[in-house]
Structure 1
Amino acid sequence: MMTTFSRGRRTALAFGLAALMAVAATAGEARPGGGSSMGSRGSKTFSAPPPTATAPGAPAPMQRSMTQAGPQMGAPAAPQRRFGGGFFAGLLGAGLLGALVGGGFFGGLGGIASFLGLLLQIGLLVGVVMLVLRFFRRRQAEPAMAGAYNRSGPAAGPRPGGPLGGNPLGGNPLGGLAGLGGGAAAQARPAQRDEVGIGPQDFEAFERTLGQVQLAYGAEDIGTLRRLTTPEMASYFTEELRANTARGLVNKIADVKLQQGDLAESWREGPVDYATVAMRYTLRDALIERASGRVVETNPPEATEVWTFLRERGGPWVVSAIQQTR
Structure 2
Amino acid sequence: MSLISLARRGRVVAVVAGALLLVPVLAEARPGGGKGFGSRGTRTNSAPAPTNTAPTGAQPFQRSAAPAPSPSMAGPAAGAAGAAAQAARPSMARNLMMGVGAGLLGAGLFGMLSGSGFFSGLASLAGIFGFLLQIALIGGLIFLAMRFFRRRSEPQLATAGGPMSREASQPQPSPRMSAMGGLGGGAPRAASKPVEITLAGEDFSSFERLLGEVNTAYSNENQQVLREKLTPEMAGYFADDIAENAAKGLVDRVSDVKLLQGDLSEAWREDDFEYATVAMRFSLINALTERATGRIVEGNATVPQEVTEHWTFVRSRGGDWKLSGIQQAA
TM norm structure 2: 0.54
**1:104-183 equivalent positions in 2, closer than 5 A:** none
Q: Equivalent residue for 1:105?
A: none
Larger radius of gyration: 1
Give distance in 1, aligned partners of 2:294 and 2:240: 22
- 1:228 and 2:263 correspond: no
Q: Equivalent residue for 1:302?
A: 306
Give distance in 1, aligned partners of 2:315 and 2:31: 20
Shift of 1:222: 0.9
Q: Equivalent residue for 1:56?
A: 55
Q: Equivalent residue for 1:315?
A: 319
Shift of 1:195: 2.2
Alpha-carbon contact 2:215-2:254 (below 8 Å) kept:
yes
Q: Equivalent residue for 1:44?
A: 43
Give distance in 2, aligned partners of 1:200 and 1:287: 35
Q: Equivalent residue for 1:243?
A: 244
Alpha-carbon contact 1:194-1:265 (below 8 Å) kept:
no
Give distance in 1, aligned partners of 2:260 and 2:217: 20
Give distance in 2, aligned partners of 1:261 and 1:223: 27
Give distance in 2, aligned partners of 1:33 and 1:318: 17
Provide Cα deviations, 1:146-187, integer angstroms capped at 9, x if missing partner.
xxxxxxxxxxxxxxxxxxxxxxxxxxxxxxxxxxxxxxxxxx
Q: Equivalent residue for 2:255?
A: 254
Q: Equivalent residue for 1:325?
A: 329
- 1:33 and 2:32 correspond: yes
Shift of 1:69: 1.4
- The runs of at least 4 aligned residues of structure 1 exceeding 4 Å deviation read none
Residue type of the partner of 2:323?
V
Say which SS state the counterpart of residue 318 (structure 2) adopts: coil
Residue type of the partner of 1:63?
Q
RMSD: 2.8
Q: Structure 2, unaligned stretches of length 5 or more?
A: 1-11, 74-193
Of 205-214 and 242-251, more deviation after overlay is shown by: 242-251
Percent identity between the two aligned chains: 52
| Equivalent pairs, count | 192
Shift of 1:71: 6.5
Residue type of the partner of 1:296?
V
Q: Equivalent residue for 1:203?
A: 204
Shift of 1:194: 8.6
Alpha-carbon contact 1:31-1:217 (below 8 Å) kept:
no
Say which SS state the counterpart of residue 301 (structure 1) adopts: strand
* Cα gap change, 1:194 to 1:286, in 2 (>3 Å): farther
* Cα gap change, 1:194 to 1:32, in 2 (>3 Å): farther
Alpha-carbon contact 2:49-2:57 (below 8 Å) kept:
yes
Shift of 1:280: 0.4
**1:254-273 equivalent positions in 2, closer than 5 A:** 254-273=255-274
Provide Cα deviations, 1:62-102, integer angstroms capped at 9, x if missing partner.
11100011269x9xxxxxxxxxxxxxxxxxxxxxxxxxxxx
Give distance in 2, aligned partners of 1:32 and 1:200: 27
